[in-house]
Amino acid sequence: MPQQIAVVTGAGSGVGRAVAVELAAAGWRLVLAGRRAEPLRETAHLLGTPTAVVPTDVTDPAAVDALFAGAVERFGRVDLLFNNAGTFGAAVPVEDLEVEAWRAVVDLNLTGAFLCARAAFRQMKAQDPQGGRIINNGSISAHVPRPNSIAYTATKHAVTGLTKSLSLDGRPYRIACGQIDIGNAATDMTAAMSTGVRQADGRIAVEPTMDVADVARTVRHMAELPLEANVQFATVMATAMPYVGRG
C-alpha cells in the first residue's frame, strides 16, 4: 500500500490520541491537530512515525486552511481526515443554558467539523490521484440525547447531516465519508461515568465503559477500506450501557 497520510483533529487526548496511535502502528503518517501544543507533542512521542504537530483552532477558517496547507507541504497529500475535535459543553437545564455557551459548542462541534471537512474535500478533489476519506466523529448523541445536553445533542445530529451531504457531494471525486458513533469509551471526557451520571428518569447511575482502543481499531478498519467501499455509519459502544431498550 502506498504511504497514507491522515489528519487527526482533537489528537491531544482521548479518542483522537488512540486513533493516531492505531493508525501510526498500521504505517500511516500523521498530522496531529488540536488547540494545545503540549498534548499534541505527547501524542506524537507515542507514535514512532513521521508526524507533524500543528496546534489549530478548528473554529478559525484561516487556521484550518493553514493546517491542511501544512499537511500537503510536509507529506504531499491528504488521504484521511478523522474529524474528531469536539466538546460536550455545560450540562445544564435548557432554561439555564447561556447563548454564549450554546454558540461555543456549535462553533466547535459543527462549524469546526465543517471547516475541516471543507478543507479536506478541497485537497482531496485537487490532488492526484484524486480522492480520500473523511470520518466524522458523531456520537450515541447523534441518535438519542442525555439529560441536559441540548447543545451537544443538536450538534451531533447535525454532524449526521454533514456526513450524508459529504458522502453525496464526494461521489464524483472518489471522496468517501462515514461516521463513527461512540458510546462510553473510557476517556477523560467520560470519567464521570465511573461515579455516576444522570439518567433519563432522574437517577444517578454508574454506566459501563469500553476501552478506547476498540474505537481506534474500528476507525482504522473504516480508514483502510478501498475508496470503492464505505462504512457509512458505525456504532461502537459499551455492550451493557443503557442505550438499547428502555435503559
Rounded-to-integer distance, Cα 6 and Cα 78, Å: 6
- As given in the structure block, the three cell numbers for residue 213 are 482502543
The one catalytic residue among 77, 141, 152, 158: 152
- As given in the structure block, the three cell numbers for residue 3 are 504511504
Rounded-to-integer distance, Cα 207 and Cα 215, Å: 17
Nearest residue to 97 via CA among 149, 155, 142? 149
* C-alpha 191, offset from chain centre: 18
- What is the four-CA torsion angle of 57, 108, 162, 193, rounded to 10 degrees? 120
Rounded-to-integer distance, Cα 215 and Cα 203, Å: 28
Residue 152 is a catalytic residue = yes
Q: Could you please report the per-residue DSSP string of 55-82?
A: E--TT-HHHHHHHHHHHHHHHS---EEE
Using CB atoms within 10 Å of the CB of residue 195, give its burial: 0 to 12 exposed, 13 to 18 middle, 19+ buried: exposed
CA end-to-end span of the chain: 44
Using CB atoms within 10 Å of the CB of residue 189, give its burial: 0 to 12 exposed, 13 to 18 middle, 19+ buried: middle
> Which residues are catalytically annotated?
152
